Chains A and B, each alone.
Chain A
Amino acid sequence: MWKFIIRRVAIGIFILFVVVSTTFFFSRIVPSEPAQKWVGAHATEEQIEAAKIELGLDKPLYSQYIKYLGDLLKGDFGMSIVSHRPVSLELKNAIPNTLELVILSVILAFAIGLPIGVYSAIHENTIFDHLGRFISVGVISMPTFWVALMLQIIFSTKLGLLPLTGQMDTILKLTNPLDKITGFAMLDSVITGNWRVFKDLILHAILPILTLMSYSLGLTSRMTRSILLEVLNEDYIRASRAYGIKERIVIWKYAIKNVLGTVTTVLALSAGYALVNTFVIEAVFSWPGIGSYISRSVINLDYPAIIGVTLFASVSYIILNLIADIIVALDPRIRFVKGGD
Chain B
Amino acid sequence: MNSKDNVLEIKDLKVDAHTVMGTAELLNIKHLEIKTGEIFGIIGESGAGKSLLALTILGLLPKNVYVKNGQILYKGEDLLKKSQEELSQRIRGKGITMIFQDPMASLNPVFTVYDQVSQVISRHNPGLSKKQLYDRVIEMLELVKLSDPENTMKKYPHELSGGMRQRVLISMALSAKADLLISDEATRALDVTIQAGILKLLEELAEKLGLSTLFISSNMALASTVCQRLGILYAGEVLEIGRVEEIIRNPRHVYTRSFLSSLPTVEKKGKPLPIIKGIYPDPLNKAKGCIFADRCPDYSAECSQNKPTYHEVIPGHFLACIKEEKHKPSSDNDMD
Contacts and interface: CB of A to CB of B under 8 A. Distances in A.
Q: Report if A and B touch in the complex (beta carbons < 8 A).
A: yes
A322 to B, nearest CB: 21
Given A124-B63, A336-B158, A340-B158, A246 B88 contact: yes
Interface stretch (A59-67, A151-159, A233-241): A233-241
Contacts of B156: 332-333, 336
B159 A242 contact: no
B23 to A, nearest CB: 15
A244 B158 contact: no
Interface string B193-217: 0000000000000000000000000
Interface stretch (B24-32, B93-101, B232-240): B93-101
A161 interface: no
A333 B84 CA distance: 31
A245 B120 contact: yes
Contacts of B100: 235, 238-239, 242
Interface string B93-121: 11011101110011111110000100110
Contact of B108 (A124, A125, A258): A258
Interface residues of A, number: 28
A68 interface: no
B58 interface: yes
A254 B111 contact: yes
A196 B246 CA distance: 87
B13 to A, nearest CB: 19
**Main DSSP-derived SS at the A contact region:** helix
Contact of B84 (A233, A247, A257, A339): A247
B105 A236 contact: yes
Interface string A265-282: 000000000000000000
A243 B84 contact: no
17 contacts: A235-B102, A236-B106, A238-B100, A241-B58, A241-B60, A242-B93, A242-B97, A242-B100, A243-B92, A244-B93, A247-B84, A254-B108, A332-B109, A332-B110, A333-B158, A339-B159, A341-B162
A239 B169 contact: yes
B110 A235 contact: no
B310 to A, nearest CB: 29
Contacts of A332: 109-110, 156, 158
A234 B100 CA distance: 11
A331 interface: yes
Contacts of A125: 63
A242 B98 contact: yes
B110 A243 contact: no
For chain B, the bracket of interface size reads 35 or more
Interface in A151-187: none
Interface stretch (B170-178, B259-267, B282-290, B315-323): B170-178
Contacts of A236: 105-109
Given A238-B100, A245-B123, A254-B111, 16 more contacts: A234-B105, A236-B108, A236-B109, A238-B55, A239-B107, A239-B172, A242-B58, A243-B92, A243-B120, A244-B91, A244-B120, A245-B119, A332-B109, A332-B156, A336-B159, A339-B158
A252 to B, nearest CB: 13
A234 B110 CA distance: 13
Interface string A207-245: 000000000000000000000000001111111111111
B124 interface: yes
Contact of A333 (B60, B97, B109, B172): B109
Contacts, number: 100
A9 interface: no
B65 to A, nearest CB: 12
B110 A258 contact: yes
A27 to B, nearest CB: 47
A244 B84 contact: no
A249 interface: yes
Nearest to A333: B109
B11 to A, nearest CB: 22
A86 B262 CA distance: 85
Interface centre among A240, A244, A245, A331 (most CB of B within 10 A): A244
A332 B91 CA distance: 32
A277 B94 CA distance: 53
A235 B106 contact: yes
Given A246-B123, A257-B111, A238 B60 contact: yes
Contact of A243 (B63, B102, B111, B172): B172
A241 B88 CA distance: 7
B62 interface: yes
Nearest to B90: A244
A235 B120 CA distance: 16
A217 B257 CA distance: 59
Interface string B65-100: 000000000000000000011001101111011101
